[in-house]
Amino acid sequence: MTSPSWRGPSWRRGAGTSSGFSRLATGLLPAGAHRSRAAVSATIAVGGGIVGLIVAVGLLSLVWTPYDPGAIDPTSRLQISSGAHWLGTDKFGRDVLSLIMAGSRTTLVVGVVAVGVAAIVGVPLGILSAMVPKWWGEVIMRANDLLLAFPALLLAIMLTAVQGQGVVTAMIAIGIASIPSFARVVRSGAIGVMKTEYVLAARAAGRRPWAIALRHVLPNVMNLVIVQASVSFAIAVLAEAALSYLGLGAPPGTASWGRMLQEGQELLFVAPRLEVFPGVAIALAVLGFNLLGDGLRDRYDPRLRDGR
Amino acid sequence: MSMPSGSVPSASQGSVIAPRDAPADRPADAPNITAPDDVLRVDGLHVRVGELELLSDVDLTVRRGERVGLIGESGSGKSLTALSIMGLLAESLVPSGSIAVTGQDGRHTQVVGAAESDLAALRGRDVTMIFQEPMTALNPTMRVGAQVAEVMRIHRTVPDRHTAAARAVELLDRVGLPDPAEAARAYPHQLSGGQRQRVVVAMALANDPALLICDEPTTALDVTVQALVLDLIVRGVEARNAGMLFITHDLAVVASVCERVLVMYGGRVVEAGDVQQVFTRPRHRYTRGLIGASDLDLTRDDGRLYTIQGSVPSAGRFPHGCVFRNRCIHATIECESLPRWEGTGPEDGFACWHPVRVHDSQGVDAS
């Protein structure tokens, strides 16, 4: 997908945001050292626009697609773009536009659940590691590093062997692989929050640790969580496509961009558009979430505000 | 600077020395027993980190309705003393000695070695604290009304959420915020520094504490706001007949707020006494230097302001013996041993080999 020597997107240069899947992720913006406020706003607007478009398409596909995305029609196989089929049909005669529209749903659902799993486990872990005595925090983070070092693809294959192929397996695998990046980002933020006077004041007011975590630390690391969620979402989109392409994700019959790539592969020279359209969809989704994440980070991450 | 604890000045050792009207039924010399009107009694407090001694033999008493100042340069151990009293020292810092706190309901708590749950019950109710920086002392993601209400909800000093919210607005009104109902809904960034510090004061007084610790509460404020906030704090403390420990390096503030004062340097109390007496007739050379340095009308023969030479060493770099001797122009070989505490007790006295004598108290040490 990308050459390993390629310089990663800006979020990979931040401490501990890379996960196993991020090694598969394409960086699309060689982010400059500094971007002006207007440029940051534009980044957020473009990223948000793309993300909004994908979400809108996904919602629309629930109620309307030009054709039934699963309907096989042997009489109209491998047609090129036409008025009837805007993006043509695949080798089974299915409408490509309908498949891409329905595929966005898979992408979004996998992304939401995977990021949700990662955040629900990673955020408390990060906060916990910042609040327990230093020694225990180190233990948690080293365990976290262990998970980070574990190849995500291997994890997905293992889970598939146990659970069987399916979207749920893919979601869990991607989610688990994304935990470390959440834990690290939140830990670094939470350590900063724990040093603030309002946490000291809360302790001086007799607040118990769990209440401080919930009411003082969590709300003040939420900006980091949101940025990380957006970045992880981009990684999850790519990971879902990769897993489905390898046959570890969406099963046959489920509309998925990665599956479409795999099914069109053998016809690459006959009908290259069967690779191009889902490929563009994936690239667009990753671009959108990356831009959004980059923009949000540039705006809200104080560590990047002045100098790197 | 690590000293064997046996070498502490005998006069400061923990017995009730204070010559005041004690109830007859109390044993006159029972050590470590808190007198009925003591809200805070610190006896022989040491704080160590590893081999390093950060606080040495600190004795300190605050009675009900009494305002005690704690002065000294940055790095002399003032804030560390305050955090020790709150039981908020970092894990690596080990306190020893005795810190006895008496709450509003007469409950005694020994802070050193107390369980975290006992400390949590103490903090914010019996003892509260006002911090230096109003910009960071409030949670930026919570409405200030909720933050004031929270300190009451923690200790269940109000029956329910609605009462807490109503009382929070009332407190914000009491500390002089215009339109308190509106202010309660504001986030900290919507308030000015002075307004924020008023909110912090409201939080500190919400549970009617027995002891209020102020750690440089007005240092970060404009001078025009300083006096107003100080007045607010003093009135709040007086209304509750609470004790106050006031930490600052602003001597003028101490002079206007406190009745008694302790001067700290190098993790030790070097002088203590009545504010009037300490400021007009300082005995320790360090106190004298501090007062000389803070008097901007006083100049040396060459027209420059008085200063204390050198700067505060970092923790563990203080000389043995008299901790001030490497910056003191009066230091002699004698100062290499720890000066004895001279005076009537921990509340009035000093530890200096070469104290300022009355006849040279008109001038200031040239340095």
- The model's pLDDT over A66-85, given as tens digits with 9 standing for 90+, comes to 888 888 888 877 887 887 77
In a domain, A199, yes or no: yes
Chain B contact present for A70, CB below 8 A: no
Q: What is the mean pLDDT of residues B180-208?
A: 91
In a domain, B215, yes or no: yes
Domain count, chain B: 2
- The model's pLDDT over A277-304, given as tens digits with 9 standing for 90+, comes to 999 999 999 999 999 988 888 887 655 5
Find all residues with CB under 8 Å of A114, minimum gap 6, and list them. Answer: A170, A171, A172, A174, A175, A178, A232, A236, A239, A240
Of the ranges A119-128, A191-200, B150-159, B344-353, which is most confident? A119-128
In a domain, B183, yes or no: yes
Q: Contact A202/B88, CB-based, under 8 Å? A: no
Chain B contact present for A135, CB below 8 A: no
Q: How many helices (H) and strands (E) does chain B have?
A: 10, 12
Domain count, chain A: 1
- Please tell me the distance from the alpha carbon of residue B108 to that of residue B102, in angstroms, as a whole number: 5
- Please tell me the distance from the alpha carbon of residue B330 to that of residue B322, in angstroms, as a whole number: 12
Q: Contact A198/B139, CB-based, under 8 Å? A: yes
Q: Can you give the CATH number for the domain in which B80 is found? A: 3.40.50.300
Predicted local confidence at residue A219, as pLDDT: 92
- The model's pLDDT over B298-334, given as tens digits with 9 standing for 90+, comes to 777 787 888 888 888 888 888 988 999 999 988 899 9
User: In this structure, what DSSP letter does residue B70 have?
Assistant: E
- The model's pLDDT over B18-40, given as tens digits with 9 standing for 90+, comes to 333 334 343 444 444 456 688 99
Q: Distance, in angstroms, between B134 CA and closest chain A CA?
A: 9
CB-closest option in B124, B141, B142 to A205 = B124
CA contacts within 13 A on the Cβ side of B97: 27
In a domain, A90, yes or no: yes
Whether residues B159 and B57 share a domain: the answer is: yes
Q: What is the mean pLDDT of residues B123-151?
A: 89
B86 vs A contacts (CB less than 8 Å): 203-204
Tokens of A93: 């005669």
In a domain, B271, yes or no: no
Whether residues B243 and B198 share a domain: the answer is: yes
Q: Contact B88/A200, CB-based, under 8 Å? A: yes
Q: Contact A207/B139, CB-based, under 8 Å? A: no
User: In this structure, what DSSP letter does residue B195 have?
Assistant: H
pLDDT higher than 50, residue A9: no
- Please tell me the distance from the alpha carbon of residue A178 to that of residue A122, in angstroms, as a whole number: 8
pLDDT higher than 60, residue A6: no
Whether residues B108 and B233 share a domain: the answer is: yes
What residue in A sits closest to B90 (Cα-Cα)? A133
Whether residues B140 and B201 share a domain: the answer is: yes
Amino acid identity at B181: A
Number of A/B CB contacts below 8 angstroms equals 67
Q: Distance, in angstroms, between A22 CA and closest chain B CA?
A: 31
Q: Contact A219/B139, CB-based, under 8 Å? A: yes
> What domain range is B237 assigned to?
38-258
In a domain, A5, yes or no: no
Query: Which one of B206, B225, B258 terminates a domain?
Result: B258
In a domain, A263, yes or no: yes
Query: Which one of B204, B223, B258 terminates a domain?
Result: B258
Whether residues B203 and B315 share a domain: the answer is: no
Chain B contact present for A91, CB below 8 A: no
A219 vs B contacts (CB less than 8 Å): 139, 141-142
Predicted local confidence at residue B359, as pLDDT: 59
Chain B contact present for A168, CB below 8 A: no
A34-38, A39-43, A135-139, B21-25: range with lowest mean pLDDT: B21-25
Residues B89/B77, Cβ–Cβ less than 8 Å: no
- Please tell me the distance from the alpha carbon of residue B344 to that of residue A149, in angstroms, as a whole number: 67
In a domain, A8, yes or no: no
B129 vs A contacts (CB less than 8 Å): 201, 204
Q: Distance, in angstroms, between B49 CA and closest chain A CA?
A: 16
What residue in B sits closest to A221 (Cα-Cα)? B141
Q: Contact A205/B121, CB-based, under 8 Å? A: no
Element (H, E) at B99: strand B94-102
pLDDT > 90: percent of chain A: 43
Q: Contact A206/B129, CB-based, under 8 Å? A: no
Chain B contact present for A220, CB below 8 A: yes
Query: Which one of B212, B228, B258 terminates a domain?
Result: B258
Tallying the residues shown for chain B, one arrives at 367
- What is the band of B86 on the pLDDT scale with cuts at 50, 70, 90? very high
Q: Contact B122/A206, CB-based, under 8 Å? A: yes
- What is the band of A91 on the pLDDT scale with cuts at 50, 70, 90? confident
pLDDT > 90: percent of chain B: 49
- For residue B357, report the phi and psi dihedrals to the nearest 5 degrees: -90, 160
Whether residues B249 and B328 share a domain: the answer is: no
What b/e readout covers A4-18, taking b as 16+ CB neighbours within 10 angstroms? eeeebbbbeebebbb
Q: What is the mean pLDDT of residues A113-127?
A: 95
Whether residues B167 and B289 share a domain: the answer is: no
Tell me which of B239 and A36 has the higher pLDDT.
B239
In a domain, A251, yes or no: yes
Predicted local confidence at residue A138, as pLDDT: 92
DSSP string of B263-318?
A: EEETTEEEEEEEHHHHHHS--SHHHHHHHHHH-TT-B-TTSPBP--SS-PPPTT-S
Predicted local confidence at residue B16, as pLDDT: 30
- The model's pLDDT over A161-215, given as tens digits with 9 standing for 90+, comes to 888 888 888 899 999 999 999 999 999 999 999 988 899 889 888 888 899 999 9
In a domain, B264, yes or no: no
Predicted local confidence at residue B18, as pLDDT: 33
Q: Residue A104 in 3-state DSSP? A: helix
CB-closest option in B91, B120, B129 to A208 = B120
Whether residues B101 and B162 share a domain: the answer is: yes
Whether residues B250 and B294 share a domain: the answer is: no
Q: What is the mean pLDDT of residues A59-65?
A: 91
pLDDT higher than 50, residue B234: yes
A201 vs B contacts (CB less than 8 Å): 129, 131, 137-138, 200, 203
Q: Contact A205/B150, CB-based, under 8 Å? A: yes
Whether residues B318 and B237 share a domain: the answer is: no
Q: Can you give the CATH number for the domain in which A212 is found? A: 1.10.3720.10
CB-closest option in B137, B151, B154 to A197 = B137
Find all residues with CB under 8 Å of A95, minimum gap 6, and list them. Answer: A65, A66, A67, A69, A71, A85, A87, A89
- The model's pLDDT over B194-204, given as tens digits with 9 standing for 90+, comes to 899 999 999 99
Strand ranges across the sheet with B348-350: B127-130, B211-215, B243-248, B67-71, B260-265, B268-274, B348-350, B342-345
- For residue B362, report the phi and psi dihedrals to the nearest 5 degrees: -75, -35
Residues B31/B15, Cβ–Cβ less than 8 Å: yes
In a domain, A197, yes or no: yes
A13-27, B212-226, B272-286, B332-346: range with lowest mean pLDDT: A13-27
Whether residues B252 and B305 share a domain: the answer is: no
In a domain, A133, yes or no: yes
CB-closest option in B136, B140, B203 to A205 = B203
Q: What is the mean pLDDT of residues B235-264?
A: 92
Q: Contact A201/B150, CB-based, under 8 Å? A: no
Predicted local confidence at residue A29, as pLDDT: 41
Tokens of A304: 């990047």
- The model's pLDDT over A92-103, given as tens digits with 9 standing for 90+, comes to 888 899 999 999
Tokens of B306: 């008085």
Predicted local confidence at residue B9, as pLDDT: 40
Q: What is the mean pLDDT of residues B74-86?
A: 91
Chain B interface residues (partner A, CB cutoff 8 A): 86, 88, 91, 119-125, 128-129, 131-133, 136-142, 150-151, 154-155, 200, 203
Phi-psi region of B222 (alpha: psi -120 to 50; beta: other; left: phi over 0): beta
- What is the band of B226 on the pLDDT scale with cuts at 50, 70, 90? confident
pLDDT higher than 70, residue A32: no
Q: Contact B128/A204, CB-based, under 8 Å? A: yes
In a domain, B91, yes or no: yes
> What domain range is A92 assigned to?
36-305
Residues A81/A233, Cβ–Cβ less than 8 Å: no
Q: Contact A198/B137, CB-based, under 8 Å? A: yes
In a domain, B13, yes or no: no
Whether residues B106 and B43 share a domain: the answer is: yes
In a domain, B161, yes or no: yes
10 Å Cβ neighbour count for A166?
A: 16
Cα–Cα–Cα angle for A257, A258, A262, rounded to 5 degrees: 115
**Mutation for testing the A interface, residue in B141, B144, B215 having most A CBs under 10 Å:** B141
In a domain, B131, yes or no: yes
Q: What is the mean pLDDT of chain A?
A: 83
Predicted local confidence at residue A266, as pLDDT: 87
